[in-house]
Amino acid sequence: MNSDIRQGTAEMTAAMLISGTIGWFVVMSGQPVSGVVFWRCLFGALTLLVICGALGLLRPGIITLRAFGIAIFGGIAIVLNWLLLFASYSHATISIATTVYNTQPFMLLALGALFLGEKITAAKLFWLTLAFAGMMAIVQAKPQTGGVSGDYGFGILMALGAAFFYALAALATKWLKGTPPHLIALIQVATGMLMLAPITDFSHPPGDIGGWAILVTVGVVHTGLMYVLLYGAIQRLPTHLTGALSFIYPIAAFLVDRLAFGHALQPMQIAGAVIILFAAAGMNLGWTPRWLRPRALES
């Protein structure tokens, strides 16, 4: 294993482990979802501003007006994604919400076909169908433990909505090929900060240093640092390895949900989660079932 692969693997693993713990921080913050996302954007923007400055990405002319507009569009999508995902935790548990959220590759598949003219192959349709079957298994199940409120199905819908908006943000990033990714991230979180400032309730801030530490961690670690690690890994790793390591995220989220909140999944939920993650792996890694492979011509 060469040094780039080794370093990229370490960066991607760290980024996914960080992502897998964000549900705990969101729940333990005790803040409304809009407040958590606002502070995430604020502290994330401050962190990324320092990083972009250090990398020389704040000089004039580094981004075109068109690219800036697309980055703002991506920022709106990524913030809506965070709002829906975080809100879904209280309805469907962190484990289930994160699993459903991992249908995002299929959302991006549809958007890519619609806006970028990308081809949908028989293998991709197979993985999409399999993921849908896993989704149905999860929808039919019910939470076994306490700690969730409201409607379970509504939580799943919010997680699906989060996946859709993440796919929109990813589509915007595809349109921004060649634009420094750290600068894209800075524009996105700055957009979110401006979006949420008018609707965020500042009258009930965290009452102690622990509450503020949680919000600062979400902004600095789960946003600023995570972006640096993720983009560093993407630049060093082949696509198939990036896709494979991305599944550390839901596994970490499952462990956090089980250990921190005692949420145990029912057999039907476990089966649905495994099916969805297996289908997403097949999509990301480009697997083709044997019966869908073209047969060699007989000589």
How is residue 63 annotated by DSSP? S
Answering whether pTM is above 0.85, one says yes
Percentage of residues of the chain with pLDDT beyond 70: 94
Burial (CB < 10 A; 0-12, 13-18, 19+), residue 255, is middle
Domain borders along the chain are 3-200+209-286
Say yes or no to pLDDT of 142 above 70: no
Each residue's pLDDT tens digit, 170-219? 888 888 888 888 899 999 999 999 999 999 988 888 889 999 999 999 99
- Report the alpha-carbon distance of residue 132 to residue 144 in Å, rounded: 22
- The reported pLDDT for the residue numbered 196 is 96
Would you tell me how many other CB atoms lie within 10 Å of the CB of residue 247? 17
- The reported pLDDT for the residue numbered 3 is 81
Each residue's pLDDT tens digit, 5-38? 889 889 989 999 999 999 999 999 999 999 999 9
Q: What is the mean pLDDT of the chain?
A: 88
